[in-house]
Chains A and B, each alone.
Chain A
Amino acid sequence: MTEQTTTGGAGTAPVRGDVGQAEQVALDLTDPRLSQQQGLAGATRAAIVRIRNGDVGSLPVLVGLVIIVVIFQAANPTFLSSTNLVGLASQIASTGIIALGVVLVLLLGEIDLSVGSVSGAAAAILAVSNVTHGMPPGVAVVLAVGAGAVIGLIHGVLFTRFGVPSFVITLAGLLVWQGVQRQVLSLTGTINLPRGGWLLRLGEFRYFGYTGSTVIAVLLVAGYLVTQLRRRQARLRAELSAPPASLILVKAGAIAALAGLVIYALCQDLGVPYIFVILLTLVIAVDWVLRRTRYGRAIFAIGGNIEAARRAGLRVDLIRTSVFVLASTLAATGGVVEAMRAGAAGRDTGTGDVLINAIAAAVIGGASLFGGRSRRYAALLGILVIGAIPNGLNLVNLSDELRYIITGSVLLAAVIVDAITRRGREATGTG
């Protein structure tokens, strides 16, 4: 770090004249040590350099996903059939939503082991209030999701007030809320949602066809374009470097192509399930909050260095409590979605491998178990992998035993890849 000279980065004090005649180079690219990359080709080169340096981003998950798809497709050509993909899209919705909450808790460097039980309890509350007590479905949904929020508040307050490790609190929660679930269902065992009610229709029988899903895709791409171009404008106005417009267009095109592919694949059969769209919406909303708001920044800061966050004046306990509330609320939402999809809530809703699948999805997608780091859309990418494996193994008639072994191995592989790439990632800068 000695060769600092030319570009005006050195000692000349008042930095900011409003006229930028001399300042051809963007404010953030003046350091001579930085490699300069211009335009689309430059962006591509920069991306290649990043990957070479070990900052692989979500590449391992995507590669893993492709390998899984290729293997299953080779084993059984119905894997990529429209019917199977529609099924897969609805199957992953509830666990994906639960995993979203797990990502938030992992960002704090904490864990929530109760999310499966909370989703089960919420499903039970939904079914009992709607069917047994005859409440309107909307009220039942609010009750179920609200119960999740209250549960999260209990976890959060216990955690911040008494300093008990979140592991222990939520382990207790795992048992307690499962008990509550059974209590609520009492002797009934399983409650079926009414055939004609919109809960069931929304979950099981509602799909966006070509028109509906195309409208959604167009909105998605347009939203991406508008936000990225505005961000580019704002950066240029601040005399900072900005991605070339061509790059933004190419990325938007890629998103459009991907959306088109999904629509094509799903709409040959029933279409895009409503509940899958709910998952996508929540994934985008959570990402937005995490990357673009002070609240999200605070969550990252607490996961990174809680003492620093405290000294910076962040209300650490309030934020940590709120994250537990969010996690349980999302878990409850996942439970509601699962009840809608299955058309029923029973004693085993939210039990079994729901918890471990949600955590595995978050970790495989790139949320660090050590807090403060997560790739974007970790829950979505992770749940695609975690959902595809049992789905494919069913198609090739593999037993449950093998399914568990394979899912476990994939999780282990993901964590190892994360540990290996960790140093490269820290060095290059995507957290």
Chain B
Amino acid sequence: MTVTQPETAARTAVLALTGISKRFGAVQALDAVDFAAHAGEVVALVGDNGAGKSTLVKVIAGVGPADDGTIEFDGRPVHIGSPHEAQHMGIATVYQDLALCDNLDVVGNLFLGSEISRGGLLDEPTMERRSWALLRELSAKIPSVRVPVASLSGGQRQTVAISRSLLGDPKVVLLDEPTAALGVAQTAQVLNLIERLRERNLAVVMISHNMADVFAVADRVTVLRLGRNAGEFVVARTTNEELVAAITGAADNVVIQRQRRAEAGAHPHGADPRGADPYGADPRGADPYGGEQ
């Protein structure tokens, strides 16, 4: 099983999870899941509701540690027992609800909990200056950092939340549904920002339901289904159809039927990068990073 893209396989993963399992009572939320993220790469984590995406993110973010499996960070085995440990290690998480204080301005939110102070008093000029530097580096379009975030658009709020996660100089950034509930222009703005993160050589993990977004920015896609790995795709060499098939675990659903009708067979399935039959068979073990050479 070798789809190994040379440029990613050559590097060791910043974050590598192997055989992660997590059980909630009778429910096996994650069953021996493998996952990896590389510097300068955007990995999309996709899957249907209940596929285990959030559980996996919680494992990485230290919110809900795994029952079983190993995590390697920067090549060293680590234990992530709390959000604080994750942050300290260099894993920043931006949750879907953003967790911004609407009443504080952009500077206040960016530096919340790690304000710069001098002689016991807040050093506003320094914080404001650093905010501008950071936002510009990300080409973020925020007109003023002195407005409360309540008055910003959804995309701008997402920008603030993501920028905030970068202040701790992380190596891995987890984005939970960064484009959910955003309009077209704002989605584009956030996707641009994700490009910037990749340029900064960060490992970006993006959870998404939106295939268009996945195809727009992701380099690689990890599909989860019912708590197991359900496929690993290189975006440049896959199709929407294949992803949907992996997510739903069935070849026969309306999206695919419709697409098939539309393409009228113009897109034969031989294009499957893994060379594996995407239908029916358990695609686990297809992980291109499974057997590191």
Are A and B bound to each other? yes
- Which residues of A are in contact with B by a Cβ distance under 8 Å? 1-2, 4, 9-11, 13-16, 27-28, 31, 33-34, 231, 234-235, 237-240, 292-294, 297, 300-301, 303-305, 307-309, 311-314, 372-373, 426-429, 431
Q: Is the CB of B112 within 8 A of A309?
A: yes
Q: Which residue of B lies closest to A374 (CB)?
A: B103
CB of A429 within 8 A of CB of B136, answer: no
B253 contacts the other chain (CB 8 A) = no
> Given the complex of chains A and B, what is the CA–CA distance between A229 and B264 in angstroms?
73
B65 contacts A by Cβ under 8 Å: no
When distances are taken between beta carbons in the complex, the residues of chain A under 8 Å from B103 are 300, 303-304, 372-373, 431
Chain A: which residue is nearest B111 at the CB level?
A297
Cα(A33)–Cα(B143), bound, Å = 7
Q: Which residues of B contact A237 (CB under 8 A)?
A: 125
Q: Interface digits, B97-137 against A, CB 8 Å rule (1 contact, 0 not)?
A: 10111111100110011110100111111101100110011
Contact B101 A28 (CB under 8 A): no
CB neighbours of B137 from chain A (8 A): 13-15
CB neighbours (8 Å) of A238 from chain B are 125-126, 128-129
Q: Are B132 and A293 in contact (CB under 8 A)?
A: no
* Docked complex Cα distance between A238 and B83 (Å): 34
Cα separation A305 to B164 with both chains bound (whole Å): 16
The residue that B104 contacts in the complex, of A2, A11, A231, A304, with Cβ under 8 A, is A304
Instruction: Evaluate contact between B101 and A235: CB separation under 8 angstroms.
Output: no
A34-B143, A297-B108 known; A307 vs B136 contact (CB < 8 Å)? no
A231: chain B residues at CB < 8 Å are 124-125
Q: Does B28 contact A (CB under 8 A)?
A: no
Which residue of A has the minimal Cβ distance to B100? Answer: A308
Give CA–CA (A13, B120) in the complex, Å. Answer: 33
User: Which residues in A have their C-beta under 8 angstroms from that of B269?
Assistant: none
Main secondary structure of the interface of A (DSSP, over half): loop
Residue of B nearest to A305 (CB): B101
Asked if residues B121 and A293 are in contact (CB atoms below 8 Å), the reply is yes
Q: How far is the CA of A91 from the CA of B122 in the complex (A)?
A: 35
B101 touches A308 (CB 8 A): yes
Chain B residues within an 8 Å CB radius of A297: 104, 108, 112, 115, 122
Q: B112 contacts which chain A residues (CB < 8 A)?
A: 297, 301, 308-309, 312, 314
Q: Which of B101, B108, B139, B185 is the one whose CB lies under 8 Å from A10?
A: B139
| Structural contact, A311 and B128, CB atoms closer than 8 A | no
Q: Chain A residues near B146 (CB, 8 Å)?
A: 28, 429
Kindly state the separation between the CA atoms of A11 and B196 in the bound complex, as whole angstroms: 10
Residues of B within 8 A of A33 (CB): 143
User: Which residues on the B side are within 8 Å of A14 (C-beta)?
Assistant: 137
Q: How far is B128's CA from A428's CA once the two chains are assembled, in angstroms?
A: 18
> Top 3 closest A-B pairs, CB basis?
A312-B113, A304-B101, A304-B103
B126-162: which have CB < 8 Å to A?
126, 128-129, 132-133, 136-137, 139, 141-148, 150-151, 153
- Establish whether residues B151 and A240, one from each chain, have CB atoms under 8 Å apart when the complex forms: no
